[in-house]
Amino acid sequence: MLRYIRLAAAFALIVPLAATAAGAAGPCASRSDLASLLKDNFGEILVAQGLSSKGHLLEVFVSPAGSWTILMSRADGLSCAVDVGEPWVTGAPASPVRDAAKR
């Protein structure tokens, strides 16, 4: 929660606040402004992205220290911080073929 408050405070000082998108939990602005904010203030870089069934681009930004932010970008260009947290842990996904061979 403290990290989310810090993100909101940094965001308010650097980027003019836009209207929050429906369903978004955090501050909204252009994707490039948010990505710069995450990199400059938290050391977070893009590590994963995917397209939702609603047509939103979801992106995960992670820092070497383990903090993370998920951004949601709409087709109209508005991006919002959906959630933040720590620690982010990356591990090898389980393989169904490998797991079946162990049985």
pLDDT at 90: 80
Mean pLDDT, the chain, rounded, equals 79
Mean per-residue pLDDT, 84-102: 72
Where do the structural domains in the chain lie, given as residue ranges?
2-102
pTM: 0.68
Note whether 60 and 70 are within 8 A (CB).
yes
Rounded to an integer, the average pLDDT of 68-95 is 88
Are the C-beta atoms of residues 36 and 51 closer than 8 Å to each other? Answer: no
Listed in sequence order, the residues at least 6 apart from 25 whose beta carbon sits closer than 8 Å to its beta carbon are 80, 81, 82, 83
Q: What is the pLDDT of residues 67-80, one digit of tens each?
A: 999 999 999 989 99
- The pLDDT tens digits of the residues spanning 6-28 come to 665 555 544 444 434 444 456 89
How far is residue 78's CA from residue 75's CA, in Å, rounded to a whole number? Answer: 7
